[in-house]
Amino acid sequence: MARPSDIIVIGAGIVGCAVAHELARRGASVELVDERPVGMGATQASAGVLAPYIEAREESPLLGLTIRSLDLFDDFVARASADGGVAVPYHRTGTLDVATTDAEMRALRAQADLLSRRDVPAILLDRAAVRAEEPQLGDGAIGGLMIEAHGFVAAGDLTRALVAAARRHGAQLIEQRRVRRISGRDGDIVIETDRGSLTGNAVVLAAGCWSGGVAIDGITEPVPVRPVRGQLLWLAWTGTPLRRVTWSSRCYLVPWDDGTLLVGATVEEAGFDERTTVAGVRDLLDAACDLVPRAWTAGFRGARVGLRPATPDDLPVIGPSRAMPNLMYATGHYRNGVLLAPLTAQLLADAMLEDKIDPMLSAVSPSRFGDL
Ligand code: GLY
């Protein structure tokens, strides 16, 4: 692609904001457009857990992508925070993955083997050791695996920092505009919205599970991204906080500096229904109280919901369109939008501004789903 200078990024979730910041700081002129305020899609319900070795439990392209992105995270947060002037809570205190059945314990042993083959520091814990590591665990805990490299970040603050940082580098944020169509016209790209059109010479589609709803000239089958609902609870903890992100097969718990605890998350095929539900809240409360009984004494601050953008193979869609010149995809990040944001931004900016095509892009190419 000839180096584009005017780039329109569709979608102001964490991925779109990371891409906008990276392009703007490397000198492109960027417009970031969304119907909703910044970070109000899947990002609003993210607990911000950064855990490649839990999200991808075996050797896979997802593992490779998430590990590489986690390696970028220190610099990514520091730069967004410094450029944007927004403090971003971020901790690399590890995860404790708790087993409550023999089958889960066997899976943790297999995971420990994989980590040891990769020289990743991890500690396999028996019943007594896991309780010593986290004294607040319930009686059901029979063992655990501690992975030190993992962490968590305040996804909302990070997204706000990225937008502020992008704007400091000249990007424009255009809110309350629903993008309807992307067309090519005389070498330019025209974005039709419900309130007028925008023109640039390249576009990045980063609209999460709404990406398939944007019509694109010449493309009959849209990018296959579907919504997978995630509900999340926000609790006010009392007493000693949990030491780190604590995970079970039914929920994960994220302890924040301000004494609150996030409990994530349901995984539901509910179409575009963005409601929190009684069933979702009850399942998460049960799971949290079984894992750490002290959760019964917590205050209830609220429930959040977001629609994760999932693809048929659970891998994101990142890279150039085969059907429309100067259209790039950055969508379908499913459970790992926050974790994969820095790598997505870097790979796209390298491809768009420096013509550098990273070999990793082949696994996430839009063309695996046809002529997109
Ligand atoms: N990243 C965890 C989740 O999507 O629930």
* Residue 79 sits in the same domain as residue 159: yes
**For residue 30, what is the domain's CATH number?**
3.50.50.60
Answer with the one of 128, 148, 168 that is the final residue of a domain: 148
* Residue 125 sits in the same domain as residue 263: no
| pLDDT reported for residue 289 | 98
| pLDDT reported for residue 187 | 87
Question: Domain of 230?
Answer: 226-310
| pLDDT reported for residue 2 | 58
Residue closest by Cα to atom 5 of ligand 1: 265
Total of domains in the chain: 3
* Residue 220 sits in the same domain as residue 236: no
Looking from the CA of residue 334, the nearest atom of ligand 1 is 4
* Residue 216 sits in the same domain as residue 358: yes
Query: What is the number of other CB atoms lying within 10 angstroms of the CB of residue 5?
Result: 13
User: Within a domain: residue 75?
Assistant: yes
| Percent helix, percent strand, percent coil in the chain, to nearest 5 | 35, 30, 35
Nearest CA among 287, 340, 296, 331 for reference residue 11: 331
| pLDDT reported for residue 1 | 52
Answer with the one of 148, 163, 185 that is the final residue of a domain: 148
Q: Is the CB of 337 under 6 A from ligand 1?
A: no
Residue closest by Cα to atom 1 of ligand 1: 335
* Residue 241 sits in the same domain as residue 305: yes
* Residue 360 sits in the same domain as residue 262: no
Answer with the one of 110, 131, 148 that is the final residue of a domain: 148
Q: Give residue 251 CA to ligand 1 midpoint distance, Å.
A: 10
Q: In the 8-state DSSP scheme, what is residue 323?
A: S
Tens of each residue's pLDDT in the chain, 372 residues: 557 779 999 999 999 999 999 999 999 999 999 999 998 888 888 999 999 999 998 889 999 999 999 999 999 999 999 999 999 999 999 999 999 999 999 999 999 999 999 999 999 999 999 999 999 999 999 999 999 999 999 999 999 999 999 999 999 999 999 999 999 998 899 999 999 999 999 999 999 999 999 999 999 999 999 999 999 999 999 899 999 999 999 999 999 999 999 999 999 999 999 999 999 999 999 999 999 999 999 999 999 999 999 999 999 999 999 999 999 999 999 999 999 999 999 999 999 999 999 999 999 999 999 999
Secondary element (H or E) of residue 1: none
Q: Give residue 82 CA to ligand 1 midpoint distance, Å.
A: 27
Q: What is d(CA 47, CA 304) in angstroms, rounded to the nearest whole number?
A: 10
